[in-house]
Amino acid sequence: MILPQEIIRNKRDGRVLSNTDIQGFVTGLVDGSFNDAQVGAMAMAIVQQGMNVDETVALTLQMMDSGDVLAWPELDGPIVDKHSTGGVGDKVSFMLAAIVAANGAYVPMISGRGLGHTGGTVDKLESISGFNVQPTTAQFKQIVKDVGMAIIGQTSNIAPADKRLYSIRDITATVESVPLITASILSKKLSAGLNALVMDVKVGNGAMMQDMQASKELAQSIVNVANGAGVKTQAIITDMNQVLGNTAGNALEIKETLDYLSGEYLDPRLHEVVNALACAMLIDANIATDTARATQLVKEVLNNGKAAEVFAKMIAQMGGPSDLFDAPDKYMPTANMITDIKAPKTGVISAMQTRDIGMAVVTMGGGRLSNEQEIDHSVGFDQITPVGGKVTVGDVIARVHANSAESLAVAKGSYLNSVHISDEMNEFNPVVYETIAENNKA
């Protein structure tokens, strides 16, 4: 047995950790033989010295194996998933999973809750009356088999080593480490027993990674490590310099999802992200041979209603209503106060401080600043005018949904301060920047 302090010393001094060292560290996370001080010291050593691809693969696999790892011998098709690094208004998972499942793949998606300015997939689903984000493993597997998709929250049996490591990283200033972020994401995602994974790495003022270099570094790390762990993976870097879609807030984003899948309203930027990720998943799952065919398949299941049917079936099988598409307001909370936010001047919306808009939702109660905090699913913004939109003074550029006059006033002020209106706009950020594939190990 290697003592914890010797493993810490090895990494502190810049040595490459052996598989035995990494196994000892992960075992210590689970059985407590690494105390909190030692875990924090180890995390800091990794932040300072980094890890190579082989080390990060070993850490990912050891943390994955610290809990349940699903297998799907009962399924007759490819098992694929997607993960996003998060942002404001990011409801892509719902549309994407339904589209891919409607085309014959299986999507067992284990998702997280929101923290800070980013919304959580699980929180959004919990805005639907009766929806159970914590089914048993047997129920989860049965729903995936029957429906083609299921979106659940992380259970205590999935990658428990990561759960402890993250809780200590969060309070020791050791979150910002590409190897640790990579291992944290992938240890949970790969435990779902995937054949393929597509990463949506956001970049911009509403993203975890705000500059392109950092986003590329994280994307490349995830792609190299996941492929090294035996799961076909690519990453697509997409824009988060404005709210994605025209809503931000839990129930409001589910409503936009229903509108998208039913064909009632399709935000063009949101659809471009969904389509890019869906095409990648369909190609990696060997359902489509190229982007042109994959795009056609996406269009077909949206137009013929199959994607909406899959999503509706998942909602019903996971405890929600069977008629959510027909009567969303009956099953999701609505705010007491809804007020227009009007353009203070004529011009074009040239920029958004997206993180500030996300924090305005949190301030109204729609997000959490600690894991224990209860959230208000009804609050947020909708009818958001995108960057590039031309406005005249007095035009509605968004609506705020709040449950008190005070929070409404604060949110309205925050939104107006977050949106910049200029006389003209010459440059637009692309929605999809580039795709990152595996490269040689470094």
Q: Summarize the confidence of residues 180-206 as an average pLDDT.
A: 94
Predicted pLDDT at 441: 43
Options 177, 184, 187, 385, the catalytic residue: 184
Known catalytic membership, residue 174: no
Domains 80-158+165-327 and 333-422 share a fold: no
Known catalytic membership, residue 189: yes
Given the candidates 2.60.220.30, 3.40.190.10, 1.10.3720.10, 3.40.1030.10, the CATH classification of the domain at 80-158+165-327 is 3.40.1030.10
Predicted pLDDT at 371: 59
Options 189, 202, 313, 355, the catalytic residue: 189
33, 55, 136, 165, 166 from 29: Cα distances, Å: 7, 17, 25, 7, 11
Known catalytic membership, residue 83: yes
Domain extent listing, the chain: 4-50, 80-158+165-327, 333-422
Known catalytic membership, residue 435: no
Options 60, 84, 174, 238, the catalytic residue: 84
- The pLDDT mean for the chain works out to 94
Options 164, 188, 255, 271, the catalytic residue: 188
The Cα 155–Cα 68 span in angstroms is: 9
Known catalytic membership, residue 355: no
Cβ neighbours around 37 below 10 Å, total: 11
CATH topology of domain 333-422: Aldehyde Oxidoreductase; domain 3 (3.90.1170)
Residue that is written with structure tokens 């027909």 in the block: 326
Q: Summarize the confidence of residues 23-28 as an average pLDDT.
A: 97
Q: What is the pTM of this model?
A: 0.93
Known catalytic membership, residue 322: no
pLDDT digits (tens, 9 = 90+) for 102-123: 999 999 999 877 666 777 899 9
Residue 328 has pLDDT above 60, yes or no: yes
pLDDT digits (tens, 9 = 90+) for 45-91: 999 999 999 999 999 999 999 999 999 999 999 999 999 988 999 99
Cβ-count burial 352-382 (b if 16+ within 10 Å, e if not): bbbbbbbbbbbbbbbbbeeeeeebbbbbbbb
Entry field: residues in the chain? 442
Q: What share of the chain has pLDDT > 70, as a percent?
A: 98
Options 21, 66, 81, 257, the catalytic residue: 81
pLDDT digits (tens, 9 = 90+) for 346-396: 999 999 999 999 999 999 999 876 656 789 999 999 999 999 999 999 999
Known catalytic membership, residue 91: no
Query: Can you state the angle between helices 160-169 and 19-31, rounded to 10 degrees?
Result: 80
Options 113, 169, 269, 313, the catalytic residue: 169
